[in-house]
Structure 1
């Protein structure tokens, strides 16, 4: 809708823009929520609506001072602060687990949702709606294509608690190599298991942490069973 005065907006338009920001941010947040990511539906809605509200404030909130002498209105000033602030919020979704970095896509989605909110607040409806649809294509369609056709090697962490049996490391290494895993890092620590009865001595054992690389489909259940079949293994975790 055309506004006669670019510095004035009516309440209906404000309501429409905030609701549109809620819908567009919610569409992207729903996909993140469905994929069980840290920042989901409500986070994306809040970021999009907050960005839209700040843009509305930046453009229309100081209209009373437009005609004042020595006052310059810069509608983009608050928008730049939004982008900077969202950077800190997105950083909170990035996790370094010791074997890989996760959350980069979610951090990027938060950042682009903020941009969509700014676009809605400024009245760029077409750009905001098209951007939302393209982002959903990227998150849903391209993700499936990447998993099916562009699956690269991924790093996994395997932790084994076992007795200090002869040949355990050799057997574990041979089994992983036969399954197509490449051991990138190996940490072995002595670990004593304390029995329930204080009269019995501690049982010596090993804690083995392996960072393994594979380009095959990772099946933690199958891998765990194969490691337990080696014998002497009391606990296995695979992620």
Structure 2
């Protein structure tokens, strides 16, 4: 085995040149564009997270390709740059896993975690010198996040969707009949109705009891518009979209 010489080290330092800096700069720009889109949508992982993930992945690849020039060629050294890329793929899962939240039957953060994974892939491609491929994936990212939702909404118009609404209304004022009429009037079919009485703790207050209503409907219309119409129905105290204890109240 031969020890590295001063000449070898000088050659190794010569590899730290503009191509490597350009690779890191490309990763910085492309991943910043991805992160900016997430930041404008006020997601958990925004501009800084995606930029740093992509830039770090690019640096790992640059180090993997050019950082071991002083030991290559030695008989006892096995050199495989692709191993670093494999470790990036597995290691980024820890960041993505921390962005996914599960609350009962609702899962949030999957798209953000996937975008972080894509940012790491773009940075890895830029670090490997595949700038055109990284730019293509960045453009594909914007196509997916901006182009797919309108397309999905258009396609869903032809397929009836099942939705659930949680309501509270005052007992004894005929609100249930009005609720069902409003739902059918907006083009929805009522699949299931479940009610539960909420008795007031102070029976002497004279305030009427309220009823909790779980309403399952199916239709091609706008569920948000239905929820807004139901909230204006006489006797209805609150309307919520989704399963039990959702986050927003109309």
The equivalent residue for 1:209 is 214
Unaligned stretches of 5+ residues in structure 2? 1-10, 242-247
Q: Say how many residue pairs are matched.
A: 231
Provide, for residues 72-125 of structure 1, a one-character-per-residue CA deviation record: whole Å limited to 9, x for no partner.
111111211211233343344445565655544433322222111111111111
**What do you get for the CA RMSD once the two structures are aligned?**
3.4
The equivalent residue for 1:85 is 91
* Distance (whole Å) between structure 2 residues aligned to residue 43 and residue 236 of structure 1: 36
Unaligned stretches of 5+ residues in structure 1? none
Shift of 1:25: 0.8
Q: Structure 1 residues 120 and 206 mapped into 2: Cα distance closer, same or farther (>3 Å)?
A: same
Choose from 72, 75, 89 the match for 1:69: 75
> Is this contact kept in 1: 2:45–2:112, CA < 8 A?
yes
The equivalent residue for 2:40 is 34
Greater Rg, structure 1 or structure 2?
2
The equivalent residue for 1:16 is 22
The equivalent residue for 1:132 is 138
* Distance (whole Å) between structure 2 residues aligned to residue 219 and residue 193 of structure 1: 30
* Distance (whole Å) between structure 2 residues aligned to residue 236 and residue 70 of structure 1: 70
The equivalent residue for 1:115 is 121
* Distance (whole Å) between structure 2 residues aligned to residue 13 and residue 141 of structure 1: 34
> Is this contact kept in 2: 1:194–1:202, CA < 8 A?
no
> Is this contact kept in 2: 1:56–1:121, CA < 8 A?
yes
> Normalising to structure 1: TM-score of the pair?
0.76
Asked if residue 224 in structure 1 is aligned to residue 196 in structure 2, the reply is no
